[in-house]
Structure 1
Amino acid sequence: MSGNVEERPERPSEVDGTAHLFRALGKIIKVLRKNAGLSQAELADIAHCSEDLVSSIERGVRIPQPDFLLRADPVLGAGGVLVAAVDDVREALAKARVRHPDWFRSFASAEAEAVALHYYAVQAVPGMLQTPAYASSLFERSRPMLDEATIEKRMADRISRQAIFDRWPVPTISFVLEAAVLLRPFGGAKVHREQLLRILDVAQRRTVELQILPQDGEEHPYLGSPFTLLTPKGRREVAYTEVYGHARLITDPEEVRQYSERYGILRSQALTKRESLDWIEKRLGER
């Protein structure tokens, strides 16, 4: 979910071109926007979305939703090119909901419809925040080694989950990241900087709370694995953990309460959202 633990090898036949589709659409939209003489902010205003979303779509980081394509097509003078892609995008999004490994599928389904999500990361940037390049770098270096088709599929699966940021109403979303997670330059300096910028982009949203747990703390309530607290619509909160490739969805009320308690203490010991943004900006300024 967060590092490179989605470890059941996929057969090449299971791989589709979703990642290529979204990257290609992003490049097409960027060219059309520039040819139309529009800035990202102007297109965002017309498409009823944020400038950050337009930027992310053009970079292939975020998925262009069907409504966005329908609004953007006439404005960009696309002549139906973007409209023609709507069915393919809908099909790709539908596949994204069911193509995860069997052991991960129940969590991915619940995550997509959750009303509250809280992520604690200790090893790598959570999948919900990863850039394509960062995700690929993790999968490329996993052992045993994965083939290129599997890497491409898993990267696309992971990035597709980030569509949740564009839902409305947006679920309650928070992150607590150990500082060490953001100090590890996975993928090299360029990939690391792009990843920090992505986290900064998401963290600045009013719908997201992101906090960093500094390394100089004298206390720590939980020296264990990363975990997620998730509240499905109309149901009780559950917890999700991954340890050495073994996933576990926890529903026992008492055990879930313990994870919730740990998360609350972690948040109380972490930097505030503003302090965390400053921390990231300082890291970017030092590079």
Structure 2
Amino acid sequence: MNESTQSADDEPGAEPKPEPGSGMLRVFGRQLKRFRLRAGMERTEFGARLGYSASTIAAYEQGRRIPPPQFIDQADELLDAGGVLKEMKEEVARAQYPSFFRDAARLETEAVELHAYDTHVVKGLMQTEEYARAVFTMRRPLLSERTIEERVQARLARQQIFARQPLPTISFVIEESVLTRPLGGERVMRGQLEQLLLYGQRRNVEIQVMPNKRDEHAGLAGPFTLIETVEGRRIAYVEAYKDSRLYSERKSVRELEEQYGLLRAQALTPRESLALIEKLLGE
């Protein structure tokens, strides 16, 4: 993979507006319609049997909305599609992400190691549903309510990485300021801190906090994520407004690996970090 420029990062950025009927969603929609017609069902009947409105079925068939995985499974069985629709489930799921993040999301599912540094918000992989919704709601330009819900569900689905077998090695370095910024309100932030404690107690996860009062800091250039795949590929995902990039060139990746190593040395230890989070919860 060569270095590739993306249009935005995992947090900031404008809402992508895929053209109706384009790409994988269009392909899936055509196949869905073909199997529905072969089964002799009108949209109203088909939708009613699966618990969806006819207008929603039309949106799926026209590639205007992203069908959830459970719908695809149910539709494949009801229409006797022989697994054709199910085989497209993974690619359809990727359409939930902004176009600039889809390659990074795919690599994330292949990771045997993942290490991330964040500066403004809790990393998406560890966000609660309420915190994620607050983050997307605050985004400018404003996202539609439907897009917000799709993005929230896609973000939560990514968290399957924590339970995947064999367990990947995962670590995070988070700025202390992120933990004291009550996005979504005090209740939402409290729930987020509690979730960080739970994740930090997993055997394959280490969370470290970078204190505000540090006179040395190796990560002033901003957030990034390091990924190693099962094939041994090492890739870096660097987040910057409207210019996020995936790097595979060894020199660039090594530079970020060096930064991350220094960040971990400068941050609180995992045990000290969890103690700080517990202290914040008690305040």
TM-score, normalising length from structure 2?
A: 0.71
Offset, 1:3: 2.9
Q: What do residues 27-63 of structure 1 show as CA deviations (whole Å, max 9, x unaligned)?
A: xxxxxxxxxxxxxxxxxxxxxxxxxxxxxxxxxxxxx
| Inter-CA distance 182–89: structure 2 relative to 1 (3 Å threshold) | farther
Query: Would you say how many aligned residue pairs link Structure 1 and Structure 2?
Result: 220
What residue number does 1:26 align with?
none
Pairing partner for 1:204 from 201, 205, 208: 201
**1:1-287 to 2 correspondences below 5 Å:** 3-5=11-13, 7-9=15-17, 13-16=64-67, 95-286=92-283
| Inter-CA distance 94–165: structure 2 relative to 1 (3 Å threshold) | farther
Task: State the AA in 2 paired with 1:133.
Answer: E
CA contact (8 A) 2:15 2:141 kept: no
| Inter-CA distance 7–252: structure 2 relative to 1 (3 Å threshold) | farther
CA contact (8 A) 1:118 1:173 kept: yes
Distance 1:2 1:269 in 2: 25
CA contact (8 A) 2:116 2:224 kept: yes
The two structures, once aligned, show a CA RMSD in angstroms of 2.5
| Inter-CA distance 170–242: structure 2 relative to 1 (3 Å threshold) | same
Higher-Rg member (1/2): 2
| Inter-CA distance 200–94: structure 2 relative to 1 (3 Å threshold) | farther
CA contact (8 A) 1:2 1:126 kept: no
| Inter-CA distance 260–7: structure 2 relative to 1 (3 Å threshold) | farther
CA contact (8 A) 1:3 1:125 kept: no
CA contact (8 A) 1:9 1:150 kept: no
Offset, 1:98: 4.8
| Inter-CA distance 91–184: structure 2 relative to 1 (3 Å threshold) | farther
Q: What do residues 98-153 of structure 1 show as CA deviations (whole Å, max 9, x unaligned)?
A: 53233211111110011100010001110000011111111111111111001111
Per the alignment, in what secondary structure is the counterpart of residue 220 of structure 2? coil
Distance 2:226 2:147 in 1: 28
| Inter-CA distance 224–98: structure 2 relative to 1 (3 Å threshold) | same
CA contact (8 A) 2:174 2:210 kept: yes
CA contact (8 A) 1:93 1:160 kept: no
Task: State the AA in 2 paired with 1:154.
Answer: R
CA contact (8 A) 1:134 1:191 kept: yes
| Inter-CA distance 101–3: structure 2 relative to 1 (3 Å threshold) | closer
CA contact (8 A) 1:238 1:249 kept: yes
| Inter-CA distance 252–94: structure 2 relative to 1 (3 Å threshold) | closer
Offset, 1:283: 0.1
CA contact (8 A) 1:211 1:271 kept: yes
Distance 2:169 2:234 in 1: 13
Per the alignment, in what secondary structure is the counterpart of residue 148 of structure 2? helix
| Inter-CA distance 223–252: structure 2 relative to 1 (3 Å threshold) | same
What residue number does 1:69 align with?
none
Identity of aligned residues (%): 44
Per the alignment, in what secondary structure is the counterpart of residue 215 of structure 2? coil
Per the alignment, in what secondary structure is the counterpart of residue 244 of structure 2? strand
Offset, 1:8: 1.8
Per the alignment, in what secondary structure is the counterpart of residue 243 of structure 1? coil
Per the alignment, in what secondary structure is the counterpart of residue 239 of structure 1? strand
Task: State the AA in 1 paired with 2:234.
Answer: E
Offset, 1:247: 2.1
